[in-house]
Structure 1
């Protein structure tokens, strides 16, 4: 698969809607049994977050094959150290990483993470967080191969 990675910033936030909704639907398939927000409410909340995360040194990377986007990553760069662990003053948080089904198993996720690492190295950022749903074992396996290890386990009791 010939994938090109393209960096975009806040000007492209509305272009991420379809990708976010695909990730939102993926979450529902991977971890059923929860009540998920409808697409529009989910996008409005995520769009607002993306706007803030893309401010400053934050960035999004699109994985493109020809004219089709087969994946993306969205990264926030924070300028405050972690409150628990010893870390640098600048920390990256990969808030979203999606590879569409047709791109899975072809190295697209690895290419995106390689490009994230390259961008962060250019910014001098070494410490990185990434989230995964507890049931998303494929993503967790990929992240662990990249040197990530479990740090926090969130448990939820949602009543609404």
Structure 2
């Protein structure tokens, strides 16, 4: 199998809906009931609108990974350009990989790495020095991929329910 990475247009976004929904299903399993995950349709409606906004206002890009034999979309990455905060000097802006989704049958074949590299090249072209991403702490497969791609732990996000009396 050979992979081709293409930049998505707004009209292409509905083609990644099934990948998004599969990722939401993964999150439901990985969160093991500890964290509420939105219903896939609602989650998609929210994210789809963000993708449209990013593409239309040049606030981000979406890359598609296609199997060159079948022309099937087997993965995608959404890269959002974020203004740097006040504390850490990450340049004027940095790239946040908001979504990296690969069909379960295609994982371990270099699709995720190819998408990360496409994001890296886009940021390099724009002279953006840093990129970041988040995943669930329990998503060990994704964490291995990200570490192999050179990502390092930076900040730790801790979450709790406000009305949880157990603490």
TM-score normalised over the length of structure 2: 0.86
User: 2:61 maps to which residue?
Assistant: 59
CA contact (8 A) 1:8 1:59 kept: yes
Structure 2 gap segments, 5+ residues each: none
Please give the secondary structure, in 1, of the residue aligned with 2:85. coil
Output the CA distance in 1 between the equivalents of 2:157 and 2:145.
20
Output the CA distance in 1 between the equivalents of 2:157 and 2:10.
29
Output the CA distance in 1 between the equivalents of 2:62 and 2:152.
23
User: 1:125 maps to which residue?
Assistant: 128
Which of 129, 135, 139 is the equivalent residue of 2:142? 139
Q: CA deviation at 1:49?
A: 2.3
Pick the structure with greater CA Rg: 2
Deviation beyond 4 Å, 4+ runs, structure 1: none
CA contact (8 A) 1:132 1:139 kept: yes
TM-score normalised over the length of structure 1: 0.89
Structure 1 gap segments, 5+ residues each: none
Aligned length in residues: 159
CA offsets 1:103-134 (integer angstroms, 9 cap, x no match)? 11111111111111112111111211111111
Q: Is 1:107 equivalent to 2:110 in the alignment?
A: yes
